């Protein structure tokens, strides 16, 4: 059975939105444009403002200042019902006394009479959505008779049943175990590609955001740190926060002197472009390195420990002359001995001035 629900895609424009709670700022002038049919992840730690922004989009909260436009219409003047958004929460929020079918059709049954579909149409949409979310045959069960993953699928189907202009997901997989989360991530991307809803989901799970989203919005302390595709966010982080928050990162304090990088009195043979002289931070990924026995121009280190991580071996290294430790990933068959000297050359890296946000490489 193919999906035959009308989709009213919406462009969303968030313009300089500020939200304060008393003297506490939650959002600082956030601006973001979301294209119709796009799947956007709001990613950040607790307190970054991502859920507050989602609630403002849903009409559950009002910004202190700023604008939110749905297809150039002022969404802040619309009620929750007029915005017609589909909401999916971490805790499912299903009605325990209703069957699966009754839960899915609830939003249609409670519409004003003038906009309420006929019973036959509600039943048709319900069974169509049951098929879409792979729950056909379970329509008479109650939420207590379902697994966590099945309950979340029902919650998605209920949100889709009202033909939402915008689908909003607040940590939708947060209550599920790791295996079910992975399965539902792939399923959600498939559902999105089939339906084409404009979708915004909140998560603190970087793997989830990078796997699912067309674009990722990284937030911290009520501000947007960076917006980009998963590849752009991971490979070209624009700030120390993004580099540290997305994926794993090593950080070393260095000095830039006339276009050269110095680790204390040890020269690092790494390119420097347009970075003024002064203190800086060198960031690189554990897997993005080459190792050498020649310490000249490389980060000088000694092996302090090694452990197996699937098909790789993770080495714990002590930087010579420093208390700093770094970690690198090498093939599992790489031979290594404790206290063995080793030179580390980052293949891809970023330099951030300690007092500014200038970056390069």
CB 210 within 8 A of CB 193: no
Which of 117, 120, 127, 103 has the alpha carbon at shortest distance from 2? Answer: 127
Tell me, what's the pLDDT at 316?
Answer: 95
* CA–CA gap between residue 353 and residue 283 (Å, rounded): 11
Give Cβ neighbours of residue 274 (< 8 Å, ≥ 6 apart).
Answer: 358, 360
Query: Which pLDDT score, from 0 to 100, does residue 55 have?
Result: 95
Instruction: Say whether 119 sits in a helix, a strand or coil.
Output: helix
Report how far apart, in Å, the C-alpha atoms of 46 and of each of 49, 221, 245 are. 8, 9, 12
Q: Residues 276, 303: contact at Cβ < 8 Å? A: no
Token pair of 105, please?
């059709």
The sign of the dihedral angle between the CA atoms of 20, 23, 26, 28 is positive
Q: How far from each other are the two terminal CA atoms of the chain, in whole angstroms?
A: 50
Q: Give the C-alpha separation, 130 to 137, whole Å.
A: 8
pLDDT at 354: 86
So what's the pLDDT on residue 355? Answer: 64
- Please tell me the predicted confidence (pLDDT) of residue 2: 42
The CATH architecture annotation of domain 12-242 reads 3-Layer(aba) Sandwich (3.40)
What is the value of pTM for the model shown? 0.88
Cβ-proximal residues to 255 (8 Å cutoff; 6+ apart), any chain: 261, 262, 277, 278, 279, 280
- 170: nearest Cα among 65, 1, 34, 51: 51
Render pLDDT for 95-134 as a digit per residue (tens, 0 to 9): 899 999 999 988 888 877 777 888 888 888 898 889 888 8
Could you give the C-alpha distances from 78 to 69, 74, 84, 85, in angstroms and in order? 10, 7, 9, 11
pLDDT value of residue 266: 95
Q: pLDDT means per 10 residues in the chain (361 residues)?
A: 56 97 92 96 95 95 96 93 88 86 86 81 89 90 91 90 91 80 86 91 93 96 97 95 95 94 95 88 96 93 90 93 92 84 94 64 49
Q: Within 10 Å of residue 299's Cβ, how many Cβ atoms? A: 28
* Euclidean distance between CA atoms 8 and 82, whole angstroms: 13
Q: 12-242 and 249-360 share one CATH topology?
A: no
| pLDDT attached to residue 6 | 53
Q: What would you report as the CA-atom Rg of the chain, rounded to the nearest whole angstrom?
A: 25
Fold for 249-360, please state it. OB fold (Dihydrolipoamide Acetyltransferase, E2P) (2.40.50)
């Amino acid at each position: 059975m193919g999906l035959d629900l009308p989709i009213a895609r919406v462009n969303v424009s968030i313009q300089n939105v500020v939200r304060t709670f008393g003297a506490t700022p939650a959002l600082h002038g956030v601006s973001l444009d979301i294209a119709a049919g796009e799947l956007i992840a709001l990613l950040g730690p607790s307190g970054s403002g991502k859920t507050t922004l989602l609630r403002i989009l849903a009409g559950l909260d009002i910004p202190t200042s700023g604008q939110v436009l749905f297809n150039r219409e002022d969404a802040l003047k619309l009620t929750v019902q007029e915005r017609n958004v589909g909401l999916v929460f971490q805790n499912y929020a299903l009605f325990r006394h209703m069957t699966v079918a009754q839960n899915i059709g609830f939003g249609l049954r409670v519409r004003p009479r003038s906009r309420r579909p006929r019973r036959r149409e509600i039943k048709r949409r319900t069974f169509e959505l049951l098929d879409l979310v792979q729950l056909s045959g379970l329509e008479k069960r109650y939420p207590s008779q379902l697994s966590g993953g099945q309950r979340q699928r029902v919650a998605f189907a209920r949100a889709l049943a009202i033909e939402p202009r915008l689908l909003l997901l607040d940590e939708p997989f947060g209550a599920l175990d790791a295996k079910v989360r992975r399965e539902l991530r792939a399923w959600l991307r498939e559902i999105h590609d089939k339906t084409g809803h404009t979708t915004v989901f909140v998560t603190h799970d970087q793997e989830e955001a990078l796997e699912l989203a067309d674009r990722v919005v990284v937030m911290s302390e009520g501000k947007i740190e960076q917006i980009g595709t998963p590849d752009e966010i991971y490979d070209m982080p624009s700030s120390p926060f993004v580099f540290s928050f997305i994926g794993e990162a090593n950080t070393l304090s260095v000095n830039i002197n006339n276009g050269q990088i110095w680790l204390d009195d040890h020269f690092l043979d790494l390119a420097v472009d347009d970075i003024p002289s002064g203190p800086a931070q060198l960031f690189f990924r554990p897997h993005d390195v080459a190792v050498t026995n020649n310490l000249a121009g490389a980060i000088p280190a000694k092996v302090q420990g090694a452990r197996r991580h699937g098909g790789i071996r993770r080495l714990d290294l002590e930087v010579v002359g420093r208390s700093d430790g770094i970690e690198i990933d090498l093939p599992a068959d790489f031979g290594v001995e404790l206290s063995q000297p080793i030179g580390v050359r980052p293949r891809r890296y970023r330099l951030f001035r300690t007092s500014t946000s200038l970056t390069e490489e």
